[in-house]
């Protein structure tokens, strides 16, 4: 049985990845530092679900080299989700630097101890492209936020290992992922929570017109599983994972209101620095190499997210 290390395993996408890999027959070990960036109870809820499936989750802080002593060095794959997430005015540059760059370099150094390691997958973001993310993978990156800059730096640290022939690695750039377990400050979980709690939704000025490739988490996981199976074709590669369908933020709000049968009151906030105004995943490369074809419509995915919210928070 091949063994996989998943960082950020108690988080939104990482927990889904750990579960899916487990179902595919991999032995999965998850890591998370259980940061209080958002309510730790959500991470604990995700962890409970993983442990019910006999998936180990260890409390490890990737910024601390000594924490790696808690791990064995017999992994076949490393999948690196852990990061200081998103664009947030409450996060400092140092937090992005430590969690996205220093932590990644420490993980790379640990990866070298794993003599049977087949591949290191870095999980990146469309934010590395900049304010518009509609490009193929060979387009010049133009990040416009601390998040995008440090995620690009992390990606390059990992890919440098491939260029130097020290590790086999690749980077998957994800687009606007949503679905069950989405973080509480993210668009759809926040919208759903505001609807049920009769609270105003904080909408950043102008963002209702932003276009997004809102991608259901299950479609992202399908792409990841294909990448793991085809890892021998991916050394040194960057792959976009997302949907080609694009929606405005306002259309997303309208769908949530339609599915809940309830109007959500909006409270307009000042524009957010570095926020992307247009993303549309260019997935020609993923189609060709991974046979990647996301199928979940936004409306269907949001219904699943609403069902998850009801089951866990009402």
CA 34, CA 178: separation in Å to the nearest integer? 20
CA 180, CA 189: separation in Å to the nearest integer? 8
CA 174, CA 85: separation in Å to the nearest integer? 13
Judge whether 37 counts as a catalytic residue: no
Question: Quick one: CATH architecture of 3-175+217-241?
Answer: 3-Layer(aba) Sandwich (3.40)
CA proximity to 86, closest of 162, 24, 177, 216: 177
Per the residue annotation, which of 37, 129, 147, 216 is the catalytic one? 147
Q: What is the pLDDT of residue 274?
A: 65
Q: What is the pLDDT of residue 208?
A: 84
Asked whether the beta carbons of 111 and 98 are under 8 A apart, the reply is no
pLDDT digits (tens, 9 = 90+) for 264-309: 999 888 876 667 789 999 999 999 999 999 999 999 999 999 999 9
- Selected from 3.90.25.10, 3.40.50.300, 3.30.70.2740, 3.20.20.120, the CATH number assigned to the domain covering 178-211+245-313 reads 3.90.25.10
pLDDT-derived band at 229 (thresholds 50, 70, 90) equals very high
Torsion sign across C-alpha atoms 115, 121, 123, 127: positive
Mean pLDDT calculated for residue range 221-237: 98
Q: What is the pLDDT of residue 38?
A: 85
Classified as helix, coil or strand, 300 is helix
Asked whether the beta carbons of 232 and 277 are under 8 A apart, the reply is no
Q: Which residue has the tokens 């609807």?
A: 195
pLDDT digits (tens, 9 = 90+) for 111-140: 999 999 999 999 999 999 999 999 999 999
Domain ranges of the chain: 3-175+217-241, 178-211+245-313
pTM of the model: 0.96
């Amino acid at each position: 049985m091949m063994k996989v290390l998943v960082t950020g395993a108690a988080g939104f996408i990482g927990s889904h990845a750990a579960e899916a890999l487990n179902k595919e027959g991999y032995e999965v070990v998850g890591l998370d530092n259980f940061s209080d960036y958002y309510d730790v109870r959500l991470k604990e809820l995700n962890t409970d679900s993983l442990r019910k499936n006999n998936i180990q989750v260890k409390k490890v802080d990737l910024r601390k080299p000594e924490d790696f002593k808690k791990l064995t060095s017999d992994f076949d794959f490393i999948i690196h989700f852990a990061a200081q997430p998103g664009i947030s005015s409450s996060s400092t540059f140092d937090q992005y630097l430590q969690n996205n760059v220093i932590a990644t370099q420490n993980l790379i150094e640990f990866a070298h101890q794993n003599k049977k390691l087949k591949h290191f997958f870095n999980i990146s973001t469309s934010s590395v492209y900049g304010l518009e993310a509609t490009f193929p993978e060979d387009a010049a990156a133009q990040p416009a936020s601390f998040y995008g800059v440090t995620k690009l730096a992390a990606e390059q640290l990992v890919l440098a290992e491939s260029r130097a022939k020290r590790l086999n690695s690749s980077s998957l750039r994800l687009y606007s992922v949503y679905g069950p377990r989405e973080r509480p400050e993210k668009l759809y979980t926040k919208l759903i929570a505001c609807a049920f709690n009769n609270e105003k939704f904080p909408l950043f000025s102008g963002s209702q017109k932003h276009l997004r490739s809102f991608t259901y988490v299950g479609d992202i996981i399908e792409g990841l599983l294909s990448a793991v199976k085809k890892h021998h074709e991916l050394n040194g590669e960057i792959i976009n994972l997302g949907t080609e369908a694009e929606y405005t933020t306002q259309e997303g709000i309208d769908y949530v209101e339609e599915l809940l049968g309830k109007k959500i009151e909006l409270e307009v906030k000042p524009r957010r620095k570095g926020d992307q105004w247009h993303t549309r995943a260019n997935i020609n490369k993923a189609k060709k190499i991974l046979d990647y074809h996301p199928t979940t419509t936004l409306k269907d995915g949001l219904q699943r997210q609403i069902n998850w919210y009801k089951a866990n928070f009402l």
